[in-house]
């Protein structure tokens, strides 16, 4: 699987250079995938070609813009579906939940329009799940 060099960015503190597999990389981008929905290839490539964002007052990730092939996308999807989160968590700061795939949204051609539709459709259930996992984690920590 492709290796990606990128940087963690922080509001306070220095950027941190990183390198990881494409799988680790996508789990290491803050707030991605939006509302837990993983984009189809043509929209993922729009996001990858953006080079990321420094996050402003939030954490961010930046990289040299790139795109992936259909074969790389198939490998990534297979890895997302088959790799347990516990294997990814030590290497990626945002490995909180496995993404879902909503092929009803694949027809969108613009990443931002797709993002809005994905979050409108899945945002409430995604955020409910995040809150439930946070509460479970809090109870385990006691």
Six-digit token pair at 131? 């809150």
pLDDT of residue 56: 75
Q: What is the pLDDT of residues 43-88, one digit of tens each?
A: 999 999 999 988 777 788 999 999 999 999 999 999 999 999 999 9
Measured CA angle at 81 (ends 136, 68), to 5 deg: 125
Confidence of residue 108 (pLDDT cuts 50, 70, 90): very high
Cβ contact 58:11 at 8 Å? yes
pLDDT of residue 140: 82
What DSSP element (H or E) covers 53? strand 52-53
Find the domain containing 53 and state its range: 3-141
Cβ contact 30:11 at 8 Å? no
Would you give the DSSP letter of residue 39? P
pLDDT of residue 129: 81
* Total-model pTM: 0.88
- Residues 138, 118, 47, 56: is their CA dihedral positive or negative? negative
Domain count, the chain: 1
């Amino acid at each position: 699987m492709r290796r990606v060099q990128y940087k963690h960015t922080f509001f306070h503190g220095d950027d941190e250079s990183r390198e990881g597999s494409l799988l680790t990389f996508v789990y290491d981008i803050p707030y991605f995938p939006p509302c837990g929905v993983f984009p189809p290839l043509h929209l993922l490539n729009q996001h990858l070609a953006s080079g990321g964002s420094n996050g402003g007052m939030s954490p961010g990730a930046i990289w040299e813009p790139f795109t992936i092939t259909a074969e790389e996308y198939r490998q990534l999807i297979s890895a997302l579906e088959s790799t347990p989160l516990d294997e990814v968590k030590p290497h990626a700061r945002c490995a909180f939940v496995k993404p879902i795939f909503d092929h009803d949204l694949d027809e969108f051609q613009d990443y931002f329009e797709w993002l809005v539709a994905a979050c409108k459709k899945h945002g409430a259930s995604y955020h409910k799940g995040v809150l439930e996992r946070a509460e479970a984690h809090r109870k385990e920590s006691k």
